[in-house]
Amino acid sequence: MFDRLHSWENLWRAYKRAAKGKRGHANVASFEHRLEDNLLQLQAELRRRTYRPGNYTSFHVHEPKKRLISAAPFRGRVVHHALCQVIEPVFERSFVADSYANRIGKGTHRALNRVQQLARKHPYVLQCD
C-alpha cells in the first residue's frame, strides 16, 4: 500500500485534485512553476519516509460566521490527496450506508433526501436529557 502512495500516477492525480479550483492562487502557481521537480521531490521524500508537513497558515473567514481556518501548504494538500486516494477504497467498504461527509457519490443533497425519507417513515422523535 505504501508503494501506491508515492507512485507517480497517484501523486499526479493528487496534484490535479489539489489544484482543482485553485489555479489562480500564488502558492499553486509557485508549485506549478516547477511542477515535475516538486512532484519528484515529494515522491523521493515519501519513498525515503522523510516527508514532513509544512506549517499551516491560519486566517479568519466571516461568512457565514466568523471562524478560524488553518490551511496546509499546497504541497501538503497534494500529499493529503495522495493518501486519501490510497486509503479511501480500504475504508469505504466499512462505512455505514448513511455516512455522507466527504464521500464520492454522497454529499449534502443526498444526506438531506435521506433525512427527509427517514422523517416520513418515522414521524416520532425521542428526546432524552
**Percent of the chain predicted with pLDDT > 90:** 67
- Supply the pLDDT for residue 67: 95
Instruction: Look at residue 76 and tell me whether its pLDDT is greater than 90.
Output: yes
- What value does the mean pLDDT take over residues 43-72? 95
pLDDT tens-digit map of 97-114: 888 887 888 888 999 999
Q: What is the pLDDT of residue 2?
A: 86
CA angle (15, 19, 20) in 5-degree steps: 120
Domains in the chain: boundaries: 2-97
Q: Is the pLDDT of residue 57 over 90?
A: yes
Half-sphere exposure of 29 (CA within 13 A, CB side): 4
pLDDT, position 82: 98
Average pLDDT over the chain, rounded to an integer = 92
Among 13-22, 68-77, 114-123, whose mean pLDDT is lowest?
114-123
CA angle 8, 84, 21 (to 5 degrees): 80
Mean pLDDT of 7-35: 95
pLDDT in tens, 18-29: 999 998 899 999
